[in-house]
Chain A
Amino acid sequence: MSKTLFDKVWDAHVVRKIEGGPDVLFIDRHLIHEVTSPVAFLGLKSRDTRVLYPNRTFATADHNTPTIHQDQPVADPLSANQLHMLETNSAEYGISHWGLGHQKNGIVHVVGPEYGITQPGATIVCGDSHTSTHGAFGAIAFGIGTSEVEMVLATQCIMQPKPKKMRININGKLGKMVTPKDVALFIISQLTTSGATGYFVEYAGDVFENMTMEGRMTVCNLSIEMGARGGMIAPDETTINYVKGREFSPKGEAWDKALAYYKTLKTDEGAVFDKELTFDGSSIEPMITYGTNPGMGMGISHNIPDAEQVEGGVATYEKSLGYMGFHEGDAMIGKPVDFVFVGSCTNGRIEDFRAFTSLVKGKHKADNVTAWLVPGSHIVEAQIKEEGLLAILNEAGFELRQPGCSACLAMNDDKVPAGKYAVSTSNRNFEGRQGPGARTMLASPLVAAAAAVTGVVTDPRTLIEELV
């Protein structure tokens, strides 16, 4: 029988099916961080249970870490305690721990792929909804709650009903300065923030085939923002070239065996999806959000729609625009910008910093803008320096911070003040997401760059002819 990519990976990991209930799903790789794991370890202790497979779990600190002076003790006692708990729990249970200051430390969804922990055909979970990122490799990867973190630690399994399947096809040539982030924000704007709830998505078509792994990760990362538990892209040469030779990737004979398996990981001809959607890639513009969920996005040159034009209740829509201080019919171009944030598991990879740098090169940061450039890992940080991007950024008035989740969720000190506007390359524009009262506009690194040098929302296509 014809199977989808998702079916193949899921079915290969079902330990047991429960009549009228969920499947018991075996998890190959488990990533943990300081925020959603401490209570899971408390649970293990109260049950007097060991970790079943400690070598399948990897710990990194990212959500609640400072992005400056990482060599110094963390000032906030609650944050310091959380980091300490991750370290001591990892040590007690024999789990690899990449804490603050460790060379491999960084955002969990950036370092996982960088070190080859992320593998095609694997099941990967983490107590973080953007675990969907790893689907870019043809893995089934999704976010879980802390109870499930405890389950995976104790039994390497979770219990999940099998989701429905959706395929999103996009073909065509992307327009000038249209990035993977724009493709994802476009899809979410079409589906709304709940349009893929209950589904696992496969992205197909030449738009995704032509993307780098970094771009595919950006797309899969944002799957959760339309409600999907995860999204995946069939592995191909691009995937295999990325995975090969990384520290935790299979080697020698194991690699040959893995490669043979990877090559089976594609949707069979004739396999059926519960839902299939098709969009034209050439119709996508650079995107920006104007509201308080990622579905409230549009082409940057458009005006904010009227309540009647959007799905959902008028009261909720008006509350959202009221929070943002925007009005129906407003143009986004020219809106004031106080902060620019480049980073996060969505856009904190080398390609994102290359894009940002290519646009700000030879220009200067606007005086009214505070810019936070936060690499996703030490590898990204080192690449920025090695490729000469840092020198260009410094010349243009930008500085680089140290790796972490930073202002994406503003658990650390990187908070956008109340009422201020931020153009962010991160993933959520919820009320208060980047700090209490902060107003977030989600966009690509190029749109962020255009805002950073002009001090207002600007279409990057009007700023320079071509990227260099």
Chain B
Amino acid sequence: MTKNMAYDKFNILTSTAVPLPIENVDTDQLIPARFLKATERVGFGDNLFRDWRYNPDNTPKKDFVLNDPTYTGKILVGGKNFGSGSSREHAAWSVYDYGFRCVVSSFFADIFRGNCLNVGVLPVQVSPEFSEKIFAAIFADPKTELEVNLPEQTITLLATGEKEKFEINSYKKNNMLNGFDDIDYLQSIKGEIEEFAEQLPL
């Protein structure tokens, strides 16, 4: 199968993490609608969390975590129900473009989760208890490293070795490991799709 490399492959990611312990982080916070006017997928990371990150005069808000040099890394740890709201894939592009490759939460909104998987951001859903442990570990030591192991489907707090399994369907897992996307797959079964269309009730 020919592959269109839309995003980098994901295997094992070891990184510090940025904590955002707010629930119901919605897509309008991830990327406000007024930044959806672009017609190309460029520069969205600059406006990730725009209105939490910047004052109206564009100066950084010092108390927002992305402006705090204490916390860095390729993993964003969010509160419950992360990514609720709009279907705008721009939200997932913003996360990716900013430099995050993985978002951890105890619960994801459905469309956002799917969009992440389509653009190369791994959504890792953990139990509420493990989410609490991760937040506590990061706040106790911002240098805390997490290991997200996609082949094993585990997320580990490296300092203590505490780990949890996470779910991902085997098809999407294979896509992320190899940098494949759905269109490659769908185009490979085009004949079958065209046959199917012939017999539809409507």
Give A contacts to B, CB under 8 Å: 12-13, 15-16, 18-22, 24, 26, 28, 35-36, 38-39, 42-43, 46-47, 49, 52-53, 63-64, 76, 78-79, 81-82, 85, 119, 121-122, 127-129, 131, 143-148, 150-151, 154-161, 163, 193-194, 197-198, 224, 227, 229, 250, 258, 261, 293, 312-313, 315-316, 319, 409-411, 418, 428, 430-433, 436-437
Checking B79, B89, B187, B197 against A49 with a beta-carbon cut-off of 8 angstroms, the contacting residue is B187
Number of interface residues of B (CB under 8 A): 60
Query: Are B81 and A145 neighbours in the complex by a CB distance under 8 Å?
Result: no
B160 within 8 A of A: no
Query: Are B39 and A39 neighbours in the complex by a CB distance under 8 Å?
Result: yes
The distance in angstroms between the C-alpha atoms of A261 and B171, with both chains bound, is: 33
Known: A18-B171, A119-B202. A227 touches B187 (CB 8 A): no
B136 within 8 A of A: no
**Least CB distance, B4 to chain A, in whole angstroms:** 6
- Residues in A neighbouring B119, C-beta threshold 8 A: 145, 147
Known: A39-B41, A430-B29. A227 touches B110 (CB 8 A): yes
- Residues in B neighbouring A47, C-beta threshold 8 A: 4, 183, 187
B193 within 8 A of A: yes
Query: Are A24 and B37 neighbours in the complex by a CB distance under 8 Å?
Result: no
B95 within 8 A of A: no
Query: Are A155 and B190 neighbours in the complex by a CB distance under 8 Å?
Result: yes
B26 within 8 A of A: yes
Query: Are B186 and A154 neighbours in the complex by a CB distance under 8 Å?
Result: yes
Chain A residue with the shortest CB-CB distance to B22? A316
B179 within 8 A of A: no
The distance in angstroms between the C-alpha atoms of A198 and B81, with both chains bound, is: 12
Query: Are A229 and B26 neighbours in the complex by a CB distance under 8 Å?
Result: no
Query: Are A20 and B87 neighbours in the complex by a CB distance under 8 Å?
Result: no
**Least CB distance, B197 to chain A, in whole angstroms:** 7
Known: A38-B39, A52-B190. A436 touches B26 (CB 8 A): no
Known: A159-B186, A258-B202. A432 touches B32 (CB 8 A): yes
Q: Other CB < 8 Å A-B pairs besides A49-B187, A81-B39, A147-B115, 16 of them?
A: A28-B202, A35-B36, A36-B87, A47-B183, A53-B197, A64-B36, A131-B87, A146-B89, A147-B118, A151-B183, A157-B186, A193-B24, A227-B84, A430-B26, A432-B28, A432-B32
- Residues in B neighbouring A151, C-beta threshold 8 A: 182-183, 186
Checking B85, B111, B187 against A430 with a beta-carbon cut-off of 8 angstroms, the contacting residue is B85
Checking B80, B89, B185 against A159 with a beta-carbon cut-off of 8 angstroms, the contacting residue is B185
- Residues in A neighbouring B107, C-beta threshold 8 A: 194, 197
B117-162 interface (Cβ within 8 A of A) = 118-119
- Residues in A neighbouring B38, C-beta threshold 8 A: 38, 78
Checking A12, A19, A26, A76 against B193 with a beta-carbon cut-off of 8 angstroms, the contacting residue is A26
Known: A20-B170, A21-B172. A12 touches B186 (CB 8 A): no
Give B contacts to A, CB under 8 Å: 4, 6, 21-24, 26, 28-29, 32-34, 36-41, 51, 56, 79-81, 84-90, 92, 107-111, 114-115, 118-119, 169-172, 181-183, 185-187, 189-190, 192-194, 196-197, 200-202
Query: Are B87 and A145 neighbours in the complex by a CB distance under 8 Å?
Result: yes
The distance in angstroms between the C-alpha atoms of A411 and B4, with both chains bound, is: 32
Query: Are B189 and A410 neighbours in the complex by a CB distance under 8 Å?
Result: no
Known: A313-B79, A428-B28. A129 touches B85 (CB 8 A): yes
**Least CB distance, A400 to chain B, in whole angstroms:** 23
The distance in angstroms between the C-alpha atoms of A38 and B41, with both chains bound, is: 9
Query: Are B24 and A24 neighbours in the complex by a CB distance under 8 Å?
Result: no
- Residues in B neighbouring A410, C-beta threshold 8 A: 33-34
- Residues in A neighbouring B22, C-beta threshold 8 A: 315-316, 319
- Residues in B neighbouring A143, C-beta threshold 8 A: 86-87, 111
Query: Are A28 and B109 neighbours in the complex by a CB distance under 8 Å?
Result: no
- Residues in B neighbouring A127, C-beta threshold 8 A: 87-89
Query: Are A15 and B187 neighbours in the complex by a CB distance under 8 Å?
Result: no
Query: Are A313 and B187 neighbours in the complex by a CB distance under 8 Å?
Result: no
Query: Are B189 and A150 neighbours in the complex by a CB distance under 8 Å?
Result: no
Known: A155-B187, A229-B111. A15 touches B39 (CB 8 A): no
Known: A159-B182, A430-B28. A312 touches B115 (CB 8 A): no
The distance in angstroms between the C-alpha atoms of A18 and B186, with both chains bound, is: 12
> 15 A–B contact pairs at CB < 8 A?
A15-B193, A38-B40, A42-B41, A43-B183, A85-B39, A147-B118, A147-B181, A154-B183, A193-B81, A197-B109, A197-B110, A227-B84, A319-B22, A411-B34, A431-B51
